[in-house]
Chain A
């Protein structure tokens, strides 16, 4: 069996997920045994024509990106959105909360037409995405799981339980008990609740669980002393697209 051809592509994002991939120092060589990396701009010069698995990082936020992602999709058998920017638009999508024209005007003034910009969108808004690795930065264990699974020809597990579940499995002290705010109850797990484990609250970087109880979430945050607006602002830090599209929050 020939090794699967794997490629990595980056769009608009902080490249933290790209970097994270190089942070598997212990596993990197083993991973390289399993696959042929044919394109990885950050780390190498080579380019290839087609890919068995294409990993896409970053959100789509300029017209040229749209063309490029269509092109990559055509040439890829499996396409994986890597990291929250690619999965949901991520933190870039905060700008979508304001009218695009206004944002561009603040930035470029009269020359706003020089650098065309579109709302930051998830990859799935443009092309079909087969699998996701969520998180900002992408969750390292989940990436390894998806990578291994796909290389071995197996569907990866899709996590759709709350971050609380993983907090409970680790018997973390709940940060709510420390008087802090936490998005864990409505955020998708898969990260091992790494933020509460480190004493910090969950900022919701993996987006909401599916079938979420919208009003319940707002009520919950109100109970913890947040105004509806503040609650929404916090919830949308990484999920402006997901939450705005699917859900009319408490309005």
Chain B
């Protein structure tokens, strides 16, 4: 994987899009294939939805409720449909469908890359990977709110590799500088044709993050080597109510539960999987009532180690992308950045003592 950094950005072709051409561009994409983009949800929330009308697309949004994973690992997914009497089954037919994700924040795509790793590793899972095929991503820059901390986990505003195009907002108006990141992007621009290449090359505007981790992201796994027994876990657990929101909305969480249900005719049925999470009480409970992570401090610790250590040890990357969902939607106002910073404090005091 080669990182595109600002030095390379200058070599990319750039096009100027105003509000109208952006709208036209979405419509142009919609004619080609299915387009998925952020839209309003409820009164003050957003979600990624299939676009029915280009005007519904909202490009200025802090984050959606569910991350992009819902398109590749649906919240509720039938695995098999079976016939009880005949003891036969059919697997759910999953087709790889062309789709373009438009208006995607860069951390969101990083989340997908992490999930790709998890679903390829060991036993590559066809359900996820088939859905994942034939997806193109068009990125957009965003203004970090008090929950975003992507920069702190190594995803600065100018990390745009993996997108085919990237829209960077250049003024307070709805104008964008569009960077062509790969040949697919160039093809799209060429066949759209209504915009002009800009010769004086720009950089992607740096963004100011209010929410920051105290230590460089390279050193976070190292902190996690030393804080397994930290008191921080107990402190957090006093406030956490174990609702599981932070797991379910996490862009890189992918644990699931599987249940069978029989239809009312007592003949047909389905085996279905659901998003699940390690913060929930029954997650690690086995027959006989033994619960291997009964306490909330154990569960919180497991959740964070999954993000910063366990998978990282294999993949070499942090499996937290700094979207801030777990903190924004936590009903107990628990902030993951605060947890990490407390752990870092704990770690530095330890180091000083030694």
Contacts and interface: CB of A to CB of B under 8 A. Distances in A.
Interface of A: 27, 30-31, 34, 144-145, 148-149, 151-152, 154, 157, 160-162, 164-165, 168-174, 176-178, 182, 184-186, 209-213, 215-217, 219-220, 223
A186 to B, nearest CB: 5
B244 A219 contact: no
Given A161-B280, A164-B331, A165-B280, A186 B243 contact: yes
15 contacts: A27-B264, A34-B266, A144-B264, A152-B266, A161-B244, A162-B243, A164-B245, A172-B65, A174-B65, A174-B329, A177-B42, A185-B241, A210-B281, A219-B332, A220-B332
Interface residues of B, number: 41
Contacts of B249: 168
A92 to B, nearest CB: 26
Nearest to A154: B262
Given A144-B264, A152-B262, A185-B331, A220 B76 contact: no
Nearest to A183: B331
Contacts of B274: 169
A171 B264 CA distance: 28
Contact of B44 (A177, A213, A217): A177
Given A157-B259, A165-B243, A168-B66, A31 B331 contact: no
Contacts of B127: none
Contacts of A149: 262
A216 B244 contact: no
A168 B245 contact: yes
Nearest to A187: B243
B239 A216 contact: yes
B136 to A, nearest CB: 23
Given A145-B261, A161-B281, A220-B241, A169 B43 contact: no
A209 B285 CA distance: 15
Given A169-B248, A185-B331, A220-B239, 9 more contacts: A30-B264, A160-B282, A165-B277, A169-B76, A173-B42, A177-B44, A185-B241, A219-B239, A220-B331
B294 interface: yes
Contacts of B329: 174
Contact of B264 (A148, A174, A177): A148
Question: B243, B291, B329: which has the most chain A beta carbons within 10 Å?
Answer: B243
A211 B281 contact: yes
Contacts of A151: 266
Contacts of A178: 42-44
Nearest to A28: B264
Contacts of A182: 331
Given A145-B261, A164-B331, A171-B47, A186 B266 contact: no
Contacts of B241: 162, 185-186, 212-213, 216-217, 220
B281 A209 contact: yes
Contacts of B184: none
B333 interface: yes
The 6 closest A-B pairs by CB, nearest first: A173-B42, A185-B243, A168-B248, A162-B243, A164-B243, A173-B45
B264 A211 contact: no
B113 interface: no
B332 A216 contact: yes
Nearest to A224: B331
Interface string B272-290: 0011010011100000000
Interface in B76-101: 76
Interface string B322-343: 0000000101110000000000
Query: Which of A168, A174, A210, A213 has the most chain B CB atoms inside 10 A of its CB?
Result: A168
Contacts of A174: 45, 65, 329, 331
Contacts of A157: 259
Nearest to A221: B331
B227 interface: no
B240 interface: yes
B331 A177 contact: no
Contacts of B44: 173, 177-178
Contacts of B264: 27, 30-31, 34, 144, 148
Contact of B41 (A34, A154, A171, A223): A171
B244 A177 contact: no
Given A168-B275, A178-B44, A219-B332, A162 B242 contact: yes
B280 A173 contact: no
A171 B65 contact: yes
Given A161-B282, A178-B43, A223-B332, A209 B242 contact: yes
Most B Cβ at <10 Å: residue of A151, A170, A211: A211
Interface in B18-56: 41-45, 47
B47 to A, nearest CB: 6
B257 to A, nearest CB: 9
B284 to A, nearest CB: 12
A174 B66 CA distance: 12
B321 interface: no
B243 A184 contact: yes
B70 A171 contact: yes
A217 B238 CA distance: 9
Contacts of A145: 261
Contacts of A184: 243, 331
A171 B47 CA distance: 8
